[in-house]
């Protein structure tokens, strides 16, 4: 059975926390002037997961509310609270954040927009944003072909993914993001964000994907053998490098 979007990462949290790529701190530097972020600005990170994006804003001193519907993900994100007292956690969704009206200066969504009901999400984001507020949709987009490693990585996902093709079809191209912001214009920035992986990290990166078999699945062992082969054929000095671009699309929402 294919799980609901809010439950897809249950059982994968540790792999997600340890082996998913982070986000460049240059995003914060971009938003300070572009979105007029100041010391008193309030940020809502929607579908925050384990807090990979949340943490770059906390590190920069901002108050962040992490909205996350999955209990395991929220628990992992809560591990940031002792270090960052400006972090607030909420059990909510993009469509129903449970945040007060007109309370947020910047909404961020990282690697999750394709799971949302966009009409309800837009209504909710418009409700919680202040009139001068901004919204940003962020994806780490990996290279899917071009050399033996990236060709092989993509083929492994195709061969072993439970519903990989269906998830890929849901992914959020920039044209759809522009439609979400319309009639307001959308701005765009791109940051290289490669990820160097040893064998453990490569296996963990694959297991962090919601469409890949977990331990106990009939195809898990075969997937692990294929992963080891991919690594052995492509590693250099104990690492393979997954090339990725962090794509940032941002703008205002018309009220």
Structure confidence at residue 9 (pLDDT): 63
Structure confidence at residue 6 (pLDDT): 60
Structure confidence at residue 175 (pLDDT): 86
Structure confidence at residue 244 (pLDDT): 96
Q: What percent of the chain clears pLDDT 90, i.e. is strictly above it?
A: 84
Residue 23, C-beta contacts closer than 8 angstroms, at least 6 positions apart? 52, 53, 56, 110, 138, 140, 193, 246
Res 1 pLDDT > 60: no
Mean pLDDT of 64-71: 96
Of 17 and 204, the structure prediction assigns the larger pLDDT to: 204
Q: What is the DSSP letter of 112?
A: -
Res 186 pLDDT > 70: yes
Which of 57-61, 120-124, 175-179 shows the lowest mean pLDDT across its residues?
175-179
Task: Please give the domain boundaries of the chain with CATH numbers for all domains.
Answer: 5-251 (3.40.50.150)
Sheet-wide strand order for 104-110: 87-90, 63-67, 42-46, 104-110, 129-142, 244-251, 186-192
> What are 27-54's pLDDT values in tens digits?
999 999 999 999 899 999 999 999 999 9
> What are 239-252's pLDDT values in tens digits?
999 999 999 999 99
Angle at 165 between CA 249 and CA 158, to 5 degrees: 115
> What are 109-125's pLDDT values in tens digits?
999 998 899 999 999 99
Res 255 pLDDT > 80: no
Res 166 pLDDT > 90: no
Res 196 pLDDT > 80: yes
What's the whole-number average pLDDT of the chain? 92
The tokens for 185 are 């214009």
Res 171 pLDDT > 70: no
Mean pLDDT of 195-213: 94
Element at 94 (helix H, strand E): none
162 pLDDT tier (thresholds 50, 70, 90): confident
Q: Are 150 and 144 in contact (CB under 8 A)?
A: yes
Of 17 and 239, the structure prediction assigns the larger pLDDT to: 239
pTM: 0.90
Sign of the CA dihedral running 12, 15, 17, 23: negative
CA distance 193 to 156: 22
């Amino acid at each position: 059975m294919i799980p609901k979007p809010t439950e897809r990462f249950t059982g994968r949290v540790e792999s997600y926390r340890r082996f998913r790529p982070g986000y460049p701190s240059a995003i914060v530097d971009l938003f300070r002037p572009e979105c007029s972020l100041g010391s008193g600005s309030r940020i809502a990170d929607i579908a925050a997961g384990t807090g990979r994006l949340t943490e770059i804003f906390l590190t920069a001193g901002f108050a962040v509310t992490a909205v996350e519907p999955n209990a395991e993900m929220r628990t992992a994100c809560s591990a940031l609270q002792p270090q960052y007292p400006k972090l607030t956690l909420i059990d909510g969704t993009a469509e129903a954040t449970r945040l007060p009206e007109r309370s947020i200066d910047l909404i961020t969504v990282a690697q999750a927009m394709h799971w949302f009901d966009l009409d309800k999400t837009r209504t909710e984001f418009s409700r919680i944003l202040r009139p001068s507020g901004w919204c940003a949709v962020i994806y780490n987009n990996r290279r899917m072909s071009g050399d033996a490693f990236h060709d092989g990585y993509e083929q492994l996902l195709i061969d072993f993914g439970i519903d990989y093709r269906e998830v890929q079809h849901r992914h959020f191209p920039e044209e759809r993001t522009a439609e979400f912001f319309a009639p307001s214009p959308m701005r765009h920035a791109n940051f290289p964000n490669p990820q160097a992986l040893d064998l453990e990290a490569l296996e963990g990166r694959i297991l962090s994907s919601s469409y890949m078999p977990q331990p106990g699945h009939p195809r898990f062992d075969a997937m692990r053998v294929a992963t080891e082969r991919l690594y052995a054929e492509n590693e250099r000095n104990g690492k393979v490098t997954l090339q990725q671009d962090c794509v940032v699309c941002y703008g205002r929402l018309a009220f």
